[in-house]
Amino acid sequence: MLDTIHAIGLVSCFALLGTSRIGACIRWLSLQGIVFGLVPLLAHDDGIGLRVMLLAGGNIALKGIIFPWVLLRLRSRTLYPREVEPFVGFVASILFGIIALGLSVWLALELKPALPHAPFLMLETAIFVISIGLFMIISRRSALMQVIGYLMFENGIFVFGVITVVETPLLVELGVLLDAFVAVFVMGIAIFHINREFGSMDVDQLNALRG
Amino acid sequence: MFADYSIFAMLALAILGALVCLALPRPRHVLRLIVLVSAIELGLAANVWVGVLGNGFVTAADGWFYIDAFSAFYLIVLVLVFLLSSAFAGVYFAHETGEHGFTLTVAHRFGALWLGSLTAMMLVLVSNNLGIMWVGMEATTLLSAFLISLHPSRLSLEAMWKYLIICSVGIAFAFIGTIFAAASVQTAGGIPADALFWTRLASADVQLDPLLMKFAFIFILVGYGTKTGLAPIHSWLPDAHSQAPTPVSAMFSGFLLNTALYCIMRFVPPARHALGAEFTNELLIFFGTLSILVAAGFIVFQRDAKRLLAYHSVEHLGIITLGFGLGPLGTFAALFHTLNHSVCKSLAFFAVGRLGQEFGSHEMHALSGALRADRLWGIALLGSVLALIGVAPFSVFMSEYQLLRAAAGAGKWLVLVLFLAASSVVFLSALRHLIDMAYGDPKLPMADGAADACPGAQDGKAGILIVVSAIGLLVLLGLWMPVWFSGALVSAAAVLGARV
């Protein structure tokens, strides 16, 4: 099962790197959120308690359903071409993805001895998703795509946290989820204002302040 | 007395205040309420501080809240800056008119987000769990983002978006660091449920995995360092500081940056424990010195007064970070400098903000002749910038002098030379700007009819009280440091493992 999640994680990342329609990107992100939400149920074989159930359920609901819904609504509310408009082209993005995958495997191999509890495949997936999320934030012109990148980044950190730290108190998990929840809304409202003021969500136009 | 209940009271009061702000019928009621809440918070924080100084620490909620001498000191500085900034908000927003008018909707939004940010920052300082500390830190970003674009405009939205994205990513890095820190406990000895408790992580009987702790500290330093405004990851800072309404800039500069630095320093004792003092000290010294140098470079070319002050923040946070890396005396100086910088920078922002309202611009050449145009805020500008660049007898001079002694004592001669060189550059260029601003000939006609008002008198007692108390504190601490106060700083430094 972890193999399947690993595969879907990788495929969704490459799909996000190569897709030109924002709507399709949001759907891939949703799939990624749902699949990664299952990781807490699978990563540890010492029984599934209420805490793990809540954690998985909360993540699937937020990252698989609510966030994509918010983003899709935002996309349909704003007057903007529905293309991703990258600073870095799609082919170059996919090439970056391949290099990042290699580096993730290497870094996971380095970290593995220090983290004996963590399943290797998930460790590698987490590092890969984190790096691709970061790349999306930097390389895409649309503010909406930056939010998608940020959420991928969060997805990666979530997987990393779940597999490395077993006993995080529920309160902390809930706090982190709440922050992600508020973050998406704050960013959504910000995009809405930016779109109204600038007539687009192109972050390349946000260039008046420098020096 | 009842110091543990004071912690609950502080958090509850700020949340309650934020909610009440939303229901008040007049903008000026909101402004009065935030001053009232801040004043009560100062009393409660003082009570906690007294408890900590007597007892060593105060804890509540089953150990989830834990305040020692280090966090108690930060708490006092936070609430002090908040009280000053809240009082100034009353003066400042009374003069906002036209499209930037302080309408009821704006007042509601401001009051709720302002006290909300206070709650989040206090949560960072009082929580013992590093996960909750992170939650509080991310909450400060989310709550304060809309304070920057209180009046949405192209520039303020740009600044707000950069702040939101850069700091969110930075703080997410810090979360990776927090996970590494928790994992470093697990692997070395079973799986403790309290791995994220700072008291547990910093205690001497815990085995920490050195490799994971090293990763943790680097991620923490880069992550929270983004929000601290350490170079080269400071790029959001001048934009946000220059575009935000002035009370917000003052709060950002005066305390928000320190909150992030506080988070970094919380990880220093466990990192020193696992890796030795050398590793953390070298990193702190490197980022501190780099920030000072980069800021000095930018300060020379600034034309906007608020951006100038923002780069001063990069410089001074660099100085504080450097101090933390220089052993016991350096840590002592860094803590002292934290208070000095916060008070002095808030006052500088107040002055530039009010003068900017009167002159209709924050460009430095436009602010020429400030001392003649507005006696009160002209004096505030002169005093605060002189203090900021380290002129005696202000207390900033004392803390920087102690820091130099610490650098010499630690044998860091290169750092000492770089620090002195950068400080000289900052001193000269800031002084040149200041002389023009304070004593130059007025170049622009004054906006908002301030020209016919009696200089300085229009802000009444509140304005005078703010300026006199801030400058008074800076001079007083520069000339005389009470024994109990230096004792409090020594015990705060001891928390970080630096015995003076």
Which residue of chain B is at minimal alpha-carbon distance from A211?
A: B298
Output the pLDDT for position B49. 94
* Biggest distance spanned by C-alpha atoms of chain B: 74
Top mean pLDDT of A53-67, A95-109, B185-199, B450-464 is at A95-109
- Give A166's contacts in chain B (Cβ within 8 Å): 186, 191
Residue B42 pLDDT > 60: yes
Distance in angstroms (rounded) separating the CA atoms of residues A122 and B358: 59
Output the pLDDT for position A46. 62
Residue B450 pLDDT > 50: no
The pTM assigned to this predicted structure is 0.93
Say what percent of chain A tops pLDDT 70.
91
Containing B68, the helix (H) or strand (E) segment is strand B65-68
- Residue A129 near chain B (CB below 8 Å): no
How much is the ipTM here? 0.91
Of B29, B24, B9, B261, nearest to B119 (Cα)? B9
pLDDT digits (tens, 9 = 90+) for B255-305: 999 999 999 999 999 999 889 889 999 999 999 999 999 999 999 989 899
Output the pLDDT for position B318. 96
Average pLDDT for residues B378-400, to the nearest whole number? Answer: 93
Distance in angstroms (rounded) separating the CA atoms of residues B292 and B415: 11
Cβ of A167 and B160 within 8 Å? Answer: no
Distance in angstroms (rounded) separating the CA atoms of residues B245 and B155: 12
Cβ of B168 and A143 within 8 Å? Answer: no
Residues in chain A: 211
CA dist A37 → A6, A65, A176, B276 (Å): 13, 11, 14, 38
- Give A182's contacts in chain B (Cβ within 8 Å): 139, 142
Band of residue A12 on the pLDDT scale cut at 50, 70, 90: very high
In single-letter form, the type of residue at position B7 comes to: I
CA dist B425 → B296, B302, B412 (Å): 6, 13, 20
Locate B160 and state its tokens: 């707000």
Sign for the CA dihedral angle at B290, B292, B293, B296 comes to positive
In single-letter form, the type of residue at position B190 comes to: G
Mutate one of A128, A165, A204 to test the B interface: name it (highest B CB count within 10 A): A165
Q: Are A2 and A124 in contact (CB under 8 A)?
A: no
* Total Cβ atoms within 10 A of residue B43: 12
